[in-house]
Structure 1
Amino acid sequence: MFTIASNTVINYHKRERCKTEPIDFGKVELKYHLEDLIIDRELKELLLKAIMCLEERQENIIALKFGACLTNRQIAGLMRLTESNVGTILYRSLKKLKDILKEQGVVS
């Protein structure tokens, strides 16, 4: 009985797969254009260079916050700091990053 049901389902999916219409790529809207991808890549490179200008502790906190998606409390536990201290370091790090990127003309 199970084999009959299984074969019926398989046959149904085979028939339905054959009924699909061909894709008209002229109508498909690409989410990103090549120019956007290049700009994104360049911005990421500039951001990484700016992050490398920070102190090691600041780099680590930014990596844990935005790369590993950890909370300030989790970062504090890992780095043996207070949660408040992590928040302060994070705030100052982001401000310094913004200043560096302003100097480079990336942000206004």
Structure 2
Amino acid sequence: MTRVIGCPSGCQAIMDTGTTLLLGPSKEVAKIHSFISAGHSGYVVPCNARNILPDIVFTINNVDYPVPVRAYVLKVRARLVLGWTPHFCSCSESHSALT
């Protein structure tokens, strides 16, 4: 069963292949972190996370793009952390330029 975690009415997105992080609106990233139950400021996940977390699917223009857990759970030193980062803001959050 599919569950919509964020942007139920749609939202803006940026596709950037030049980074290992997945960037998104802060409110929506917080919803993903909460869904995944990440600890320590919302980024650290249990060592078995790669075995239990689901793929996250982005739907863009009615086309599904699955993001496998190995793409959004990163090993940093001795920890596993989420690669979701609240970085860019949508027009509804702010009218300031991206930097």
Same fold flag (TM > 0.5): no
Larger radius of gyration: 1
Q: Which has the higher contact order (CA 8 A, sep 6+)?
A: 2
TM-score under structure 1 normalisation?
0.28
Q: Please identify which structure carries the higher helix content.
A: 1
